[in-house]
Structure 1
Amino acid sequence: MTTEACDMTRTSSPPHCVVDEDYYWDLVKFSAEDHIFRVPKHRFMSDSETFATTYGLDHAHGSEDEFTAEDPFLNAVSLDVTAHELRTFLKAIYPKQLQGELMLTANEWLAVLKLSTKWLFNGFREMAIEKLSPLTGMDSIEKVRIGKEFCVEPWLLSGYRELVNRDASITVDEAGKLGWKSAFRLCGLREDWKIPGRRDRVAKAIPANLDIEIEMRFQDKFGAIREAQCLYMTVDDKAEVERKRQAEEKEARDVAEREEREEKLDAEREAERRRIELAAEEERQRVDELAKELDERRQLLQTLSDAKPVPVPESANEHIPEWLTRVVDGTTRSPLRSRQEEEEAEDKESPPHSAGVI
């Protein structure tokens, strides 16, 4: 092999490289109206699973360098928003400045709020709500509108409260923006709240609280917002909910275990109490039986001690033989003694034979 061939072999082999896990970003191309945007994909993947799934960002969209004059929208993800809204949203998620607070106008923050609510970028939604609150300089009708549109309960409540408290009546134009049904409710609430004695009897039983009155009149509006809040939970919110859920489950388990232990102890105490009562009852019965037996013996002894000797009549002594009297006195023996007894007595009285005498 020639030197030239060896050089060609070396140059044809690709150089060894390692793709960095953190800073080799995939790019994605978006189209909005007649504008094309190309940005790193990772924020759209990590900050909203809904967006990534809806627009298929987990699938390839062509080469990041792919751009042709014949079809500039090739492999671009088409978004149904305006170019201005998307550009403003990209300012928030990919800010150009590295230091300091992100500075956007109120209208720009509203655009961020709109798209983050639409695409469930809940972290940026929370940021936009925080930046826009307390909606300084915004009129009551606009507060009600954006409160309902973007499901922000404090803004909706604030708008309704201002409309009830203000001196000016609700105009026809404002009623059209609010919706005629909502406008009628507000007019009735204004009269009930401002004219003495107009509150109904049920409401009078509750201390006056305008916010509560508003929520009662617009239960459907506030109920819908509260039901939707689970969609807008941030990662931290979900972690907090999970932490509370685990804590509640642990507390429930602890309570159940504690109740089980207490029930077991109560059962053991009850069994011990019954055993003691049974033993005490048996002991009482035994004592009663012993007391009864003792009383019977005492009565028997008392009966015996109280008994008198039977007197012997004088005439009975006349029929007792004299020899029996002497036997009793020990002065003579009874003629009834057996022959064997007499022989035994004679043996005792006769002297022993001397040794060697037959």
Structure 2
Amino acid sequence: MDTKSAIAARHSKLYIDTMIFQVDNAIFKVPSRYFHEKSEAFGIASKISAENLNGEGSSDENPIKLSPLPHDANAEDFELLVNVIMSFTFNLPPPTGYTLCQWFAVLKLATAWEFSDIRTLAMKSITDDKTRIYDQWFGIFVSCWNLEGFTELRELAITRVSGLQKWSAMQKINNGRWYCVRRWATEGLKDLAEAPSLPSFQEIESLGLHTVVNFMLLREAVLKRCTHCASGYSRVLRCSNCDSTVSTQARCNLVLVEKYCAQELSQIEL
């Protein structure tokens, strides 16, 4: 066979098509295969561009403009995502050394653009992260607590924050109400009922009349205790949710909170 007359074919993996994106004031020229194959939205855009050599994404002068990015992400967040995409494109190990917050940035964009394999990687990296810094976990929680598609992360963040926070009873109640976390509101009401003295007038007033009435009944029940707790038996158990230790008396008091404040608690849970 005359090799000179043979038509050379593009290598299936190492002939790299690219796309040019603009995010904020940064221009990115990146391999396009992953975007084409993994995202319906990017796939449609690439088809349109392929039909026009001078179309969007073909040059620095005519990039595909992605700003504003989903979930308030920025160019630095997009760079983090692209680094992961590069590793997937060339079958390389994923980036190492990403912080908890950087993996969260990747997760936000992967979720928005339905990159399921990157989302799985990011979520695993966040779950496996051993960072025990309250500000980081609470920041992640605040960013995702009411976003669709982040239920798993929300529950993880609630657990991590619960184990790290040092809130007052009223802070637990207020955060539980504001962010619709029943667990925090329940613990706050328990702490308030167990306190050696009544809360201040301002704190009582902020609870609302209906809650105040139930709180007074709750406090009386907590002070009386149940037969089991009054006996002085106070074996410490380990909580399966947040890995903290909880006495049988505390568990008893949580049951009382659920009994006397059930109506309010049912209204603040997502």
Q: TM-score, normalised by structure 2?
A: 0.54
* Offset of residue 46 of structure 1: 0.9
SS in 1 for 2:47: coil
Q: Deviations over 1:26-75 (max 9, x none)?
A: 3211111222222222100111223323xx112225269965xxxx322x
SS in 2 for 1:58: helix
Q: How does 1:221-260 map to 2 (within 5 A)?
A: none
Indicate how the Cα distance of structure 1 residues 62 and 218 shifts in structure 2: closer, same or farther if over 3 A, else same. farther
| Structure 1 gap ranges (5+) | 1-13, 204-213, 221-358
Indicate how the Cα distance of structure 1 residues 117 and 171 shifts in structure 2: closer, same or farther if over 3 A, else same. farther
Q: For the Cα contact (< 8 Å) 1:164–1:189, is it kept in 2?
A: no
Q: For the Cα contact (< 8 Å) 1:193–1:199, is it kept in 2?
A: no
Indicate how the Cα distance of structure 1 residues 92 and 100 shifts in structure 2: closer, same or farther if over 3 A, else same. closer
| Structure 2 gap ranges (5+) | 194-252
SS in 2 for 1:17: coil
Aligned mates of 1:202, 1:83 — CA distance in 2? 46
Aligned mates of 2:80, 2:54 — CA distance in 1? 25
Q: Deviations over 1:156-212 (max 9, x none)?
A: 23444566675532676995xx58633795664124555523331797xxxxxxxxx
1:356 corresponds to: none
Aligned mates of 1:174, 1:32 — CA distance in 2? 40
Indicate how the Cα distance of structure 1 residues 102 and 187 shifts in structure 2: closer, same or farther if over 3 A, else same. closer
1:77 corresponds to: 64
2:149 corresponds to: 151
2:78 corresponds to: 86
Aligned mates of 1:138, 1:129 — CA distance in 2? 18
2:29 alignment partner, one of 32, 35, 38: 38
Aligned mates of 1:104, 1:150 — CA distance in 2? 28
Q: For the Cα contact (< 8 Å) 1:26–1:41, is it kept in 2?
A: yes
Which structure has greater helix proportion?
A: 1
1:18 aligns with 2:8: yes
Aligned mates of 1:184, 1:88 — CA distance in 2? 31
Q: Percent identity?
A: 17
SS in 2 for 1:199: helix
* Offset of residue 79 of structure 1: 0.8
1:122 corresponds to: 116
SS in 2 for 1:29: strand
Aligned mates of 1:86, 1:112 — CA distance in 2? 8
Amino acid at match of 1:141: F
Q: How does 1:204-219 map to 2 (within 5 A)?
A: 219=269
Amino acid at match of 1:169: S
Q: TM-score, normalised by structure 1?
A: 0.42
2:127 corresponds to: 133
Amino acid at match of 2:114: L
Q: Which has the larger radius of gyration?
A: 1
Aligned mates of 2:123, 2:181 — CA distance in 1? 29
1:47 corresponds to: 38
Q: How does 1:1-358 map to 2 (within 5 A)?
A: 17-20=7-10, 22-23=12-13, 24-53=15-44, 56-59=45-48, 60=50, 62=53, 67=59, 72-74=60-62, 76-80=63-67, 81=69, 82-95=74-87, 100-106=93-99, 107-135=101-129, 136-139=131-134, 140-148=137-145, 149=147, 151-161=149-159, 168-169=167-168, 181-182=178-179, 188-194=185-191, 195=193, 196=253, 197-200=256-259, 219-220=269-270
1:5 corresponds to: none
Amino acid at match of 2:47: D
* Offset of residue 143 of structure 1: 4.3
The one of the two structures with greater contact order (alpha-carbon pairs below 8 A, sep at least 6) is 2
Aligned mates of 1:34, 1:167 — CA distance in 2? 41
Q: For the Cα contact (< 8 Å) 1:163–1:186, is it kept in 2?
A: no
* Offset of residue 89 of structure 1: 1.1
SS in 2 for 1:37: strand
Indicate how the Cα distance of structure 1 residues 187 and 119 shifts in structure 2: closer, same or farther if over 3 A, else same. closer
CA RMSD, 1 decimal: 4.1
Amino acid at match of 1:34: N
Amino acid at match of 2:61: F
Aligned mates of 1:184, 1:130 — CA distance in 2? 23
Amino acid at match of 2:167: A
Aligned mates of 2:121, 2:168 — CA distance in 1? 35
